[in-house]
Amino acid sequence: MNPYAAPLEEIRFVLRELSELEAVAQLPDAEAIADPELMDAVLEQAARFAREVLAPLDMVGDREGARWSEQGVTTPPGFQAAFRQFVEAGWNNIAMPAEYGGQGLPSLLCAPLEEMFTSANKAFCYCPELMAFAVKALAAGASETLKSQYIPKLVSGAWAATMNLTEPQAGSDVGALRTRAVPQPDGTHRLFGQKIFITYGDHDLTENIIHLVLARTPGAPEGSKGVSLFLVPKFLPEDGWPGRRNDVYCAGIEHKMGNHGSPTCTMVYGGNGEGAVGWLVGAENKGLQTMFVMVNSARFVVGQEGTAMSERAYQQALAYARERVQGRLAKGGTASVPIIRHPDVRRMLLSMRSQTEAMRAVAYAIAGARDLASRHPDPEIRRERQAFVNLMIPIFKGWASETAVEVTSTSIQVHGGMGYVLESGVSQPLRDVRVSSIYEGTTSIQAHDLVDRKLARDGGAALRAWLSQVHLTLRQLGDGGRDEFAVIQTNLRKAVDALQGAADRVLAEYERQPQEVLAGAVPFLRLCGVVAGGWQMARAALAAGRQLDRREGNADFLRRKLLSARFYATHVLPQAAGLATVAMHGGACAMELGEAAF
């Protein structure tokens, strides 16, 4: 596998031109992003850490994998030392609140840092990501006693954390879970049950692991309304350390397609009969509300995994296409040439590049909006940006994870037969990212959420507000005065019209025939993603054109941005019409066939 190099010039361009950087820089405690030199220094240091520490361990993790024994789970060689360096450098707590000892960096700066680390070593990054998610959940729902006892340990990197939702019979249907939490006289609960697919459920990176576990108390209502959240430590925090081992153990780890360096555990609570000691987090029977603080953060991060793995795959494919000499140009002489000169290889590379750039730009736009939604002094701006975030999270998660599967698969195609050879490492980005469209809510769940909660519930108000921004970009393209803008404007307008027509149809038909509408919901989500990407690529073209007109910046880079935007407009945006047709008219066909006829 080729070495990873963070695309810093591209990252800086997106931050400065497409992501509301100036507005975020005006927020309280945004010094790291308000000072350009400081921001650049942080980006440079993160890129160096990703390149020098994390990336060299990526294939090691894939090849060696995590190992299970009765004594516990061990991570691949080098992971322990890298984790210590990660914590010592402070990368583990960049997004954690300053009031608990974290750095509290804006989401807009955390997004590129997390992207770089994930590109370098996705399996490694799960552990620190889960620590950050847990701090958010505990800060939102835990008692002051639990906060003071556990959050500082998570922020310092001394302890890690997990999310425990899934059970053998309760995957996407969390309300079907059976894990029991029995109240005790001392105010604790004893937990009994089994959880599966628990990322980093056991490992050797930290001295303790905090499990956030969904379970049912006696007499709890059926379904999701009867689910509570509990904090269950691997070791109990008693006087002296280490404390007594709790009755929670890893019974085994999964043998997965990818992410081999990340242990995916089966966790047994109360297997010794005494029950795992746990503390209630938040109100009884309200556990999903607190847990979804973690889940919503995770969905954005999973979308970013799509960007990160696509970038890694593009870099691999580009390097190979430049060095692999094979075949002669059509009607172009007798000498063999590097395959990057062949038309279809160029098409594949530009498809990978343009879609990766589109995903990155959408991600950073969401990240900036998250900062404004949580910290802007004007409540109306907070409300408006939060509505944008709520709309975009399921779109971004679903579209980016699905697009990344296409992009990473294309990398294998560029490599030809060598891409199919496991030892080449070319398949790893695809194998690692394939799960991203499954966990933290499958693409169909994201699409259902988009149609039901984000579109139908407000009558399409948030969608219309977003599309008004896209129409502003269309007007700017018309006024831009550059020939390159014509095809971008034309195809983006057609795509927006297709999206608006599909949205109108969804709103009109959802109450009357929800099953048919939902059968077309994934194409509708992908339509939204394609348009969102086209919108950001159009904005990138406008920014690049302005800088070229002013003779600012790196002219070669800016011309590449214009070409990438044109490619997206001519090769990707035309997909909108087909997706809209399926979203509007494909559902009836999908629902007609009786079950027995399949």
pLDDT digits (tens, 9 = 90+) for 269-290: 999 999 999 999 999 999 988 8
Does residue 294 register a pLDDT over 90? Answer: no
Q: List the structure tokens of 519.
A: 């059968």
Does residue 242 register a pLDDT over 80? Answer: no
Least-confidence region, from 103-117, 168-182, 554-568: 168-182
Contacts of 273 (CB under 8 A, 6+ apart): 247
Residue 310 and residue 404 in contact, taking contact as beta carbons nearer than 8 Å? yes
The pLDDT, as a whole number, for residue 235 is: 96
**CA-angle at 389, arms to 508 and 577, nearest 5°:** 45
User: Catalytic residue among 17, 129, 311, 440, which?
Assistant: 440
Distance between CA atoms of residues 351 and 360, nearest Å: 14
Reported as a pLDDT band with limits 50, 70 and 90, residue 2 is confident
Reported as a pLDDT band with limits 50, 70 and 90, residue 597 is confident
Whether residue 440 lies in the annotated active site: yes
Does residue 240 register a pLDDT over 80? Answer: no
Contacts of 504 (CB under 8 A, 6+ apart): 460
The pLDDT, as a whole number, for residue 150 is: 95
Reported as a pLDDT band with limits 50, 70 and 90, residue 292 is confident
- Which of 266, 268, 294 minimizes the C-alpha distance to 281? 294
Query: Which value, in Å, is the radius of gyration of the alpha carbons in the chain?
Result: 24
The pLDDT, as a whole number, for residue 481 is: 84
Average model confidence (pLDDT) across the chain: 95
The pLDDT, as a whole number, for residue 27 is: 95
Say if residue 242 is preceded by a cis peptide, omega within 30 of 0.
yes
- Which of 493, 508, 496, 402 minimizes the C-alpha distance to 455? 508
Does residue 512 register a pLDDT over 90? Answer: yes
The pLDDT, as a whole number, for residue 432 is: 98
Does residue 112 register a pLDDT over 70? Answer: yes
Q: Tell me what the mean pLDDT of segment 216-222 comes to.
A: 95
Q: Tell me what the mean pLDDT of segment 295-306 comes to.
A: 92
Q: At what angle do helices 107-120 and 343-375 cross, to 10 degrees?
A: 140
Count of all residues that appear for the chain in the document: 598
Does residue 575 register a pLDDT over 80? Answer: yes
Domain 159-286: top CATH class:
mainly beta
Residue 353 and residue 346 in contact, taking contact as beta carbons nearer than 8 Å? no
Does residue 334 register a pLDDT over 90? Answer: no
Half-sphere exposure at residue 230, Cβ-oriented, CA atoms within 13 angstroms:
27
Amino acid letter, 470? V
The pLDDT, as a whole number, for residue 138 is: 96
Q: Tell me what the mean pLDDT of segment 106-134 comes to.
A: 97
Q: List the structure tokens of 28.
A: 């309280």
Domain 8-66+75-141 fold: Butyryl-Coa Dehydrogenase, subunit A; domain 1 (1.10.540)
Domain locations along the chain: 8-66+75-141, 159-286, 444-593
Reported as a pLDDT band with limits 50, 70 and 90, residue 175 is confident
Q: Which residue spans within 166-219 are E strands per DSSP?
A: 180-183, 189-199, 208-215
Express each pLDDT in 356-414 by its tens digit.
999 999 999 999 999 999 999 999 999 999 999 999 999 999 999 999 999 999 999 99
Give the β-pairing of 228-233 and 248-253.
unpaired
- Which of 387, 417, 242 minimizes the C-alpha distance to 324? 417
Does residue 241 register a pLDDT over 80? Answer: no
